[in-house]
Each structure stands twice: as structure tokens, then as C-alpha cells.
């Protein structure tokens, strides 16, 4: 997608100031025209029909166009208006098309290279993950021997063997006086 380039000193330009003084709506129209020309790849031509859609009919719309023409920002063109110096600051439609074609070719070549390596490595591999059968340790012990439970807490195996919950075993041990 092309970008419309707008100089950051636009507001200091004498032509812009002149058009602004003549018609406030001319600045919106000028920016709309830049964006339209860049997006539609018109090499700076702003179509007459599009301008009619953007502006209100009557004197305000005509004054905005007249302000741009009088200031030298737009020039009459058979299809509408031509933005002055558009191609000095923005790439031409042909440059953009060439760049798009070069990008498409570059991306296709990258995909071909990537798929050639990937396909060679993955052909024959399952298309979905298959779980690995392995035993997962129930407890983890640190280097100091700490398992994460209290000093006299029952292990999972103790609780399962007794058919009781951890809380029930702890309560039983407290009754017996073996747990603090």
C-alpha cells in the first residue's frame, strides 16, 4: 500500500498559507487529494467526480477548489486537477507497481526456499501431535532435600494407600500426637 508523503513543514509553505486564508476547506481537500492520488495510483491526478463527492455543492466547495488552483497547489487537468509537484515528492504509479512485483517475487522465492527445507524435514511426520508416553515424577526434591510439604506431611502415596485425603491423615497424626 503506498503512502502519501506530506512534508512536516507543510504549514509554513506560502502556497498552503494562501489557500488556507482563502478557504479553510481547501486544506482538507488538499490532503484528501494527496491520499486519493497515492491510494489510486493516479500520479497526482484528482478526479473531478471524487472531488464532487467530498465537497458540499455550492459556493463553499467551489471556493475550496479555487483556493487550491489560485495558490498553485492544483492545476487544471482533463480528468479533474493535478497536484503540483506530486511526482517530485511521491513515487509514480509505475514505481509502485514495479516495487510490488519485486516484493511479490522476493516473497515467493522466500516461501519456496523455506518450504523446500520444511517439506524435506517434515514429510512423513504426523500432521498432529502425538503425546509422548513417559512417567512424570510426583515429587520434586531440591538439593537440600525439601519436597515442598511440611516436615511431617503425608506423601501422595501415603494418602492414596490409606484411602484418605491429606487433611484427614494430618488430622489423624495430630490426634496421635505425631504432628506438630
Task: List pLDDT tens digits, range 9-58.
Answer: 989 999 999 999 999 999 999 999 999 999 999 999 999 999 999 887 78
- 51-66 per-position pLDDT tens digit: 999 887 788 889 999 9
Average pLDDT over residues 103-119: 80
Is residue 42 within 8 Å of residue 36, measured between CB atoms? yes
**Structure pTM?**
0.60
Whole-Å CA distances, 94 to 18, 38, 41, 100, 136? 33, 12, 8, 10, 62
Indicate the burial class of 2 (C-beta count within 10 angstroms; 0-12, 13-18, 19 or more): middle
Torsion sign over Cα 25, 31, 32, 33: positive
Cell of 167: 487433611
Is residue 52 within 8 Å of residue 64, measured between CB atoms? no
Per-domain boundaries in the chain = 10-89, 151-180
The backbone torsions φ and ψ at residue 55, rounded to the nearest 5 degrees and listed phi first, read: -105, 150
- 123-163 per-position pLDDT tens digit: 555 555 566 666 655 566 666 665 655 555 556 666 566 66
> pLDDT: is 73 or 109 the higher one?
73
Average pLDDT over residues 78-88: 95
* Residue 71: CB atoms within 10 Å: 22
For residue 82, the SS3 value is strand
- 173 Cβ contact list (under 8 Å, min separation 6): 152, 154, 179
> pLDDT: is 78 or 61 the higher one?
78
For residue 169, the SS3 value is helix
pLDDT for residue 17: 95
Q: Does the structure show a pLDDT above 80 at 108? A: yes
Whole-Å CA distances, 112 to 99, 119, 145? 20, 10, 54
Q: Does the structure show a pLDDT above 70 at 94? A: yes
pLDDT for residue 131: 63
Position 6 confidence tier, pLDDT thresholds 50, 70, 90: confident
pLDDT for residue 147: 60
> pLDDT: is 158 or 103 the higher one?
103
Q: Does the structure show a pLDDT above 60 at 170? A: yes
Is residue 27 within 8 Å of residue 19, measured between CB atoms? yes
User: What span, in angstroms and rounded, lies between the C-alpha atoms of 128 and 86?
Assistant: 54
pLDDT for residue 61: 87
The backbone torsions φ and ψ at residue 66, rounded to the nearest 5 degrees and listed phi first, read: -60, -35
Amino acid at each position: 500500500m503506498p503512502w502519501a508523503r506530506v512534508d512536516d513543514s507543510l504549514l509554513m509553505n506560502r502556497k498552503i498559507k494562501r489557500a488556507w486564508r482563502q478557504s479553510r476547506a481547501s486544506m482538507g481537500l488538499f490532503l484528501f487529494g494527496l491520499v486519493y492520488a497515492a491510494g489510486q495510483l493516479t500520479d497526482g491526478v484528482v478526479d473531478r467526480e471524487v472531488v464532487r463527492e467530498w465537497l458540499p455543492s455550492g459556493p463553499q466547495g467551489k471556493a475550496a477548489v479555487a483556493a487550491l488552483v489560485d495558490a498553485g497547489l492544483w492545476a487544471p487537468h482533463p480528468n479533474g486537477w493535478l497536484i503540483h509537484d506530486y511526482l517530485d515528492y511521491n513515487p509514480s504509479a509505475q514505481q509502485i507497481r514495479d516495487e510490488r512485483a519485486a516484493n511479490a517475487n522476493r516473497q515467493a522465492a522466500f516461501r519456496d526456499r523455506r518450504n523446500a527445507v520444511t517439506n524435506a524435514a517434515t514429510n512423513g511426520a504426523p500432521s498432529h501431535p502425538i503425546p509422548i508416553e513417559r512417567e512424570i515424577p510426583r515429587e520434586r526434591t531440591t538439593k537440600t532435600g525439601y519436597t515442598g510439604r511440611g516436615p511431617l506431611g503425608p506423601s501422595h502415596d501415603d494418602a492414596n494407600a490409606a484411602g484418605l485425603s491429606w487433611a484427614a491423615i494430618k488430622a489423624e497424626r495430630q490426634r496421635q500426637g505425631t504432628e506438630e
